[in-house]
Amino acid sequence: MLSDQRWEIEMEIVRTNFPWFKPFMTGREGVGFLGNLRGPRSKRLFQVVIKIPARLYPDAEPPVYIDPKLTMLWWRADDVNGRAEGRLCYHRREGGSWHDTPWQPAKHTFCNCIGFAVQYIQEFDR
């Protein structure tokens, strides 16, 4: 369950790194961040949403949603919010190589998830 202290820390980390991303809370349904990222080549705007039910965070990783999608690759079934269009699929880079490292609540944050959206858009924007 998301504590008030953890939420304050999460908001500060995102505010420091992605100040245009705005936090939101939808009652018990969800917490997260919403913002736009611009494609480096196309200059197109992409809406990014990181959202998870507050009762699951920080024990579960928050899904990343990007609209519009750049490719049908790198998407998987959304087992958290049940969105039909799926969620972004990614791997963490740790120790200089790519691993399927599990979510670690004490180490990972919403800000890390925004970073994966940035990487996806930088790689696939044409």
Which tens digits make up the pLDDT trace of 77-101?
Answer: 888 888 888 888 876 666 555 556 7
CB within 8 Å of 60: residues ≥ 6 apart: 52, 80, 103
Q: pLDDT of 61-80, one tens digit each?
A: 999 999 998 887 778 888 88
Over pLDDT 70: what percentage of the chain? Answer: 90
First to last CA, the chain: 39
- Quick check: 34 and 47 in contact, CB under 8 A? yes
CA distances from 15 to 12, 38, 94, 121 (A): 5, 18, 24, 20
- Quick check: 114 and 50 in contact, CB under 8 A? yes
Q: Which amino acid is at 117?
A: A
For residue 26, what pLDDT band results from cuts at 50, 70 and 90?
confident
At residue 118, the 3 state secondary structure works out as: helix
CATH topology of domain 4-124: Ubiquitin Conjugating Enzyme (3.10.110)
State the pTM of this model. 0.88
